[in-house]
């Protein structure tokens, strides 16, 4: 397993209305990969009309982390995640859930061979829409399309701005996210887009891509999500 391609968890993060759902669906279709949307889970919980909205939000995130971690454990090559990830704690929680699922099992009192530990890449697509006029138009249009179980979703420009003000707005190079409490020193890190977040079960490699949703480049993003396919195409001899 050590020489196999890593499982890639493709995280599409961003505020409501920027277009991450449309983009993640297009990539999932091209990759023929499972896609998990936090809002879909929350719609079901909220639509049951049993729990308060805040509790539904917390539970939907917990369910999402567990579903994704199980897919990683099963070795699904690509797993797409659509969620705001407004707080760094959410991303850390996802990494923790994955590590817990991948923790080497005990075999007759001994830890399983480390070579069997699955390698994981968390490829984070930070979806942003700099054209606020277009962003506002999308939010207002979406607000008119919401069903009864979706009324928890922000449906006004004011609501989205409130979310922005309450968010961490964390960046890719912040130490507490990339070290994850594992004791990696800043001096040992390189100022590039990749980080190896070492846990007890091997590394979770973190990669970050800024995506301007005004004109998302689908083919470029697809190549970034599956670099082996791109490399194989480049190495293929001309007919």
| 76: nearest Cα among 35, 39, 38 | 35
| 209: nearest Cα among 124, 129, 122 | 124
Task: Give the containing element (helix H, strand E) for 143.
Answer: helix 132-145
Q: What is the pTM of this model?
A: 0.79
CATH, range 7-105+112-131+168-227: 3.40.50.300
CB 30 within 8 A of CB 222: yes
Structure tokens at 190: 């390189």
- Each of the 239 residues of the chain gets a pLDDT tens digit; together they read 555 789 999 999 999 999 999 999 999 999 999 999 999 999 889 888 888 888 999 999 999 999 999 999 999 999 999 999 999 999 999 999 999 988 764 343 444 455 456 789 999 999 999 999 999 998 888 777 766 656 667 778 888 888 888 888 776 544 444 444 332 223 333 334 555 555 444 568 899 999 999 888 889 999 999 887 544 444 434 44
Q: Counting runs of H as helices and runs of E as strands, what totals does the chain give?
A: 9, 8
């Amino acid at each position: 397993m050590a020489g196999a391609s890593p499982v890639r968890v493709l995280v599409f993060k961003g505020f409501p209305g920027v277009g991450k759902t449309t983009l993640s669906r297009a990539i999932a279709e091209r990759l023929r990969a499972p896609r998990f949307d936090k809002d879909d889970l929350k719609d079901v919980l909220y639509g049951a009309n049993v729990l308060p909205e805040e509790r539904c939000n917390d539970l939907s995130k917990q369910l999402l982390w567990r579903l994704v971690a199980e897919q990683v454990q099963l070795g699904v090559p690509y797993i797409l995640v659509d969620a705001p990830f407004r707080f760094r704690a959410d991303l850390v929680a996802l990494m923790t859930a994955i590590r817990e699922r991948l923790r080497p099992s005990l075999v007759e009192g001994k830890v399983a061979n480390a070579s069997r530990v699955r390698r994981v890449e968390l490829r984070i697509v930070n979806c942003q829409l700099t054209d606020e006029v277009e962003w506002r138009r999308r939010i207002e249009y979406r607000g008119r399309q919401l069903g009864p179980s979706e009324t928890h979703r922000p449906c006004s420009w004011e609501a989205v701005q409130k979310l922005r003000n309450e968010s961490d707005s964390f960046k890719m190079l912040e130490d507490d996210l990339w070290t994850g409490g594992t004791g990696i020193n800043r001096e040992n890190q390189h100022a590039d887009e990749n980080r190896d977040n070492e846990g007890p079960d091997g590394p979770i490699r973190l990669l970050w891509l800024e995506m301007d949703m005004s004109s998302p480049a689908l083919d470029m993003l697809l190549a970034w999500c599956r670099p082996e396919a791109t490399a194989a195409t480049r190495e293929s001899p001309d007919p």
